[in-house]
Amino acid sequence: MSDCCSAPGLLPFEQALADMLAQVTPISDVISLPIDQALSYVLGQDIHSPLNVPPHNNSAMDGYAFEIKSFLTSGTLTLVGCSMAGAPYQGECKLGECVRIMTGAKIPNNCDSVEMQENVHVDQQKITFLKEKITKGSHVRNTGEDIQKHQKVLSKGHRLSTIDIGILASLGVAEVRVYRPLNIALIATGNELKLPGQVLTDGDIFASNSFFLAAILKKFNVNVIDFGVINDDFQAIKKAFVAADKQADAVISTGGVSVGDADYTKDVLDELGDIGFWKVAIKPGKPFAFGLLPNSLFFGLPGNPVSALVTFHQLALIALTKLQNAEPINRTVLKVITTTELRKSTGRMDFQRGVLSLNEQGENVVTSTGSQSSGILSSLAVANCYIILPADQGKVSAGEIVTVQVFDDYIR
Ligand code: AMP
Ligand code: MG
């Protein structure tokens, strides 16, 4: 680990991320799941299309199918049959003839074009075109125009989206191989913490960290093992960590990673595993512990809710993505004008909270959510992006261009 030159003793964010990822070995167990249960799972196989989609030329409109030569020869064609979706026309359609056709129905042999029913005049079996020009191939959806047979459609490591589930169904794929869900233990530490539903006594607060972490992890499709709140007590913390390590692929704790009098987490972890206590050069979130327990990865997040969320989202989640074998999360980054001044001192990279919007000129602009104190969870609730300010950046004036990272689905 090398130190950041501008902030002695602090590990630059990129370095922390790289050091952490270097210690993560992805899981290898795959399971089979029916596609309707596979949303958000990570594919453990490449998916190649077993067929052309669509499997046959078909009509994009309700109308009449014919060969373009027929149209070029005569403005009126003779109706010889009908092609319905699922009940194709089986006969011939010769020069001068046409077939009534419905959307999605197979284009009859010899036919290559379709005219919409709104653009013809029907007189019993005589169909007269109202338009003077029709191009060959009009309103025909071609075999394989969506997906070609044998084409690679989805890659191993891809996290299945709602659309992907539809694509798998369109290929006739009923089951997929995916990586098994991770088991992740959550441990909140602090004598002052009470769970919602309990009664607060003097000096207490409600524990919120494990709740939003569990909510994010659910979207990430993992099994959460919640150890609740553990008191600041060496033996109690040790017992929880030992039990968590036995059951989980990763253990995430919050609180107790700074060096306060009641911070026993460090002593316990020094005894149990190979854990690095990092001061990452980011704000919020300076104290962050990461390393290996006997059976699992360990992430020690700071207790302040905003710091816990930012370090989880920007560091731990990236490592868990690798552990899950998933392709890296793709986050949208934009350069926009800040409408507000942004307070900032040099030395740490800031993840300030902002609201991205369009101004009257139709330009993207970002506005600070106000106080950036790491205890103010509501600042994250109203935000829709991080304003990312590099370590060497000082104060930013209104009107300057800044980099924002739009909140991804995990924290929206
Ligand atoms: P610590 O890192 O344990 O010193 O905690 C830093 C701050 O975060 C303190 O104000 C704690 O009360 C608060 N805190 C710690 N854990 C939680 C939690 N699970 N939910 C909400 N606040 C917490
Ligand atoms: Mg504490």
DSSP 329-356: P---EEEEEESS-B---TTSEEEEEEEE
Check pLDDT > 80 for residue 154.
yes
- Would you say the CB of residue 285 lies under 6 angstroms from ligand 1? no
Per-residue model confidence as pLDDT tens digits over 302-360: 999 999 999 999 999 999 999 999 999 999 999 999 999 999 999 999 999 999 999 99
The rounded Å distance from CA 141 to ligand 2 centre is 63
What percent of the chain clears pLDDT 70, i.e. is strictly above it? Answer: 98
Which of 8-12, 24-28, 159-163, 323-327 is the least confident region?
8-12
Omega cis (within 30) before 54: yes
Ligand nearest to the CA of 260: 1
Residue type, 154: L
**Nearest ligand to residue 190 Cα:** 2
CA distance 389 to 393: 6
- Closest protein CA for atom 3 of ligand 1: 255
Binding site membership of 173 for ligand 1 (Cβ less than 6 Å): no
Mean pLDDT of 110-130: 97
Residues 6+ apart with CB under 8 A from 25: 323
Give the pLDDT mean for 232-257. Answer: 95
pLDDT at 183 over 80: yes
pLDDT at 342: 97
CB-based contacts of 341, cutoff 8 Å, min separation 6: 368, 395, 396, 397, 398
In this prediction, residue 266 has a pLDDT band, given cuts at 50, 70 and 90, of confident
Residue 407 CA to ligand 1 centre (angstroms): 23
Q: What is the pLDDT of residues 362-404, one digit of tens each?
A: 999 999 999 888 878 888 999 999 999 999 999 999 999 999 9
- Cβ of 231 below 6 Å from ligand 1: no
Span 167-187, average pLDDT: 97
Q: By CB neighbour count within 10 A (0-12 exposed, 13-18 middle, 19+ buried), where does 321 fall?
A: buried
Distance (Å) from CA 266 to ligand 2 centroid: 12
pLDDT for res 8: 66
Higher local confidence (pLDDT), 81 or 261? 81
Question: Cβ distance 410 to 349 under 8 Å?
Answer: no
Tell me the pLDDT tens digit for each residue of 56-105: 999 999 999 999 999 999 999 999 999 999 999 999 999 999 999 999 99
189 alpha carbon – ligand 2 mean position (Å): 6
Residue 2 has pLDDT above 80, yes or no: no
pLDDT of residue 124: 96
Mean pLDDT to the nearest integer, 30-43:
98
User: What pLDDT is stored for residue 1 in this prediction?
Assistant: 41
Pocket test for ligand 1, best of 304, 309, 373 (most atoms within 8 A of CB): 304
Would the CB of 190 count as within 6 Å of ligand 1?
A: yes
The helix (H) or strand (E) run that includes residue 240 is helix 234-247
pLDDT at residue 25, as a whole number: 97
Predicted confidence (pLDDT) at residue 406 exceeds the cutoff of 80: yes
Residue nearest to atom 20 of ligand 1 (CA): 207
Q: Which atom number of ligand 1 is nearest to the Cα of residue 210?
A: 19
Per-residue DSSP letter, 84: B
CB 253 near ligand 1, within 6 Å:
no
Residue 5, pLDDT above cutoff 70: no
> Could you tell me the pLDDT band of residue 146, with boundaries at 50, 70 and 90?
very high
pLDDT at 3: 40
Angle, helices 265-272 vs 234-247, to 10°: value is 50
> How many angstroms separate the alpha carbon of residue 373 from the centre of ligand 1?
13
In angstroms, the CA 364 to CA 370 distance is 19
Quick check: CB of 195 below 6 Å from ligand 1? Answer: no
- 300: Cβ below 6 Å to ligand 1? no
Average pLDDT of the segment spanning 252-274: 84
Q: What is the mean pLDDT of the chain?
A: 94
Residue 391 near residue 407, CB atoms below 8 Å: no
Q: One-letter amino acid identity for 126?
A: K
pLDDT for 265 equals: 85
Between 258 and 139, the more confident residue is 139
The residue whose two tokens read 């379709």 is 114
Ligand 1 centroid distance, CA of 367 (Å): 28
CB contact set of 167 (below 8 Å; sequence gap of 6+):
147, 153, 154
- Residue 312 vs residues 212, 214, 387: alpha-carbon distances, Å: 10, 11, 17
Residues of the chain above pLDDT 90, percent: 89
